[in-house]
Amino acid sequence: MKGNVTVKTLAKELNISIATVSKALNDSYEISVDTKQKVWDLAKKLKYERNPAASNLRSHKTRTIAVIIPEVANNFFSLAINGIEEIARKRDYHVLIYQTHENSETETAFTESLLSGRVDGILISVSSGTENYDHFRELVDKIPVVFFDRTIEGIDAVKITTDDYESAYQATCHLIENGCSNIAYLYALSNLCTGQRRLEGYKDALAAHQLAINNDLIIGYDKNPDQNYENIKQLISVQKPDAVFSSIEEFALPCYYVCRELGLNIPNDLKIISFSNLSTAPLLSPSLTTITQPAFEIGKEAAGFLFKILDKKPFDADEIPILKSTLIKRESTGLC
């Protein structure tokens, strides 16, 4: 290419060996402060930038982490990335982004390709299409992995989650307290802990209030938006629930549109609550009651623990926090 400046350049210029230069750049104790300073000064002057490939090849450190998520264009995940990036930035780490689009094969392809040593560690939020976990098993014993939000069972790795069960329980209670007894549940992430815990919270809250669980009131998520819309419309018009509990944000807006189409008034005819990180929730018509996850903090915590692992700092399992989501009551559930 061009006459790039390398350790060799610096060494020649200063009349010292390249080993000394390398060690100086890495602030090794073996090198005198004088020499270090000279090297640093010259490096800055010549705008030396360490070649990451060579460094990685030799040291097996990439200063890079990968983030595997379903979608970037999602309020929760973009906030989580934000948190991850903030932590990575402080450590001068680089962040690779991979989107699975909820596709398990894509996810597997990513995890396999990341075994090549491209990154030091991986943060994953599992795709909802994932049913087979073998690729994760292989992954976690070859490279540090931290799961966040969307987690699975039977894998030995750090998992950063929120209190899905409790917040779903609480949300359901909120609906019941506001007079609902026929509460539909829009069930997503059914093959992940995350989804299952939310459903349990819903069910247990019903049971605690002596309300029967009606499986006709529980429908799954369809990745085809039109079909999903139809399913919700069907549910609402046939089962005539007095409330809808949406377990993911993607369900919430279709509900609003369905109510519009069916001429239903929210919250009088139907109350709506949703897990969501929509910044516009307070400005919707009517404003949407949400269970809002601390997405940014989840990202920060997940990255933080990944770096603990990379630094080989020991920690106890009970140090891993379960973050709290917030129930924000708004008009869509009657505003109280």
Partner DNA sequence: TTTATTTACGAATACGTTTAAGTGAACGCA
Partner DNA sequence: TGCGTTCACTTAAACGTATTCGTAAATAAA
* Residue among 31 and 272 whose Cβ is closer to DNA: 31
Kind plus residue range of the DSSP H or E element containing 215: none
Q: What would the DSSP string read from start to end of 147-208?
A: EESS--SS--SEEEEE-HHHHHHHHHHHHHHTT--SEEEEE--TTSHHHHHHHHHHHHHHHH
* Residue among 60 and 313 whose Cβ is closer to DNA: 60
Residue-wise burial string across 28-44, b where 16 or more C-beta atoms lie within 10 A, e elsewhere: eeebeeebbebbeebbe
Quick one: tokens of 82?
């934000």
User: With binding defined as CB under 8 A, does residue 44 bind a copy of itself?
Assistant: no
Question: Residue 118 touches which of a copy of itself, DNA, none (CB < 5 to 8 A by kind)?
Answer: a copy of itself
* Size of the chain, expressed as the number of residues it contains: 336
Which of residues 278, 310, 323, 328 is near a copy of itself by CB under 8 A?
A: 278
β pairing state of 158-162 and 218-220: unpaired
* Residue among 28 and 132 whose Cβ is closer to DNA: 28
Contact track, a copy of itself, 98-137, x by CB under 8 A: xx------------xx-xxxx-------------------
β pairing state of 326-328 and 289-292: antiparallel
Which of residues 12, 13, 27, 35 is near DNA by CB under 7 A?
A: 35
CA–CA separation, 330 and 336 (whole Å): 7
Residues 47-66 that bind DNA (CB under 7 A): 48, 50-51, 54-55, 57-59
User: With binding defined as CB under 7 A, does residue 23 bind DNA?
Assistant: yes
Question: Residue 15 touches which of a copy of itself, DNA, none (CB < 5 to 8 A by kind)?
Answer: DNA
* Residue among 83 and 144 whose Cβ is closer to DNA: 144
In single-letter form, the type of residue at position 311 comes to D
Q: Which residues bind a copy of itself (CB under 8 A)?
A: 1, 4, 47, 49-54, 56-57, 60, 62, 64, 71-75, 78-79, 81-82, 85, 89, 94-99, 112-113, 115-118, 253, 256, 278-280, 283-287, 296
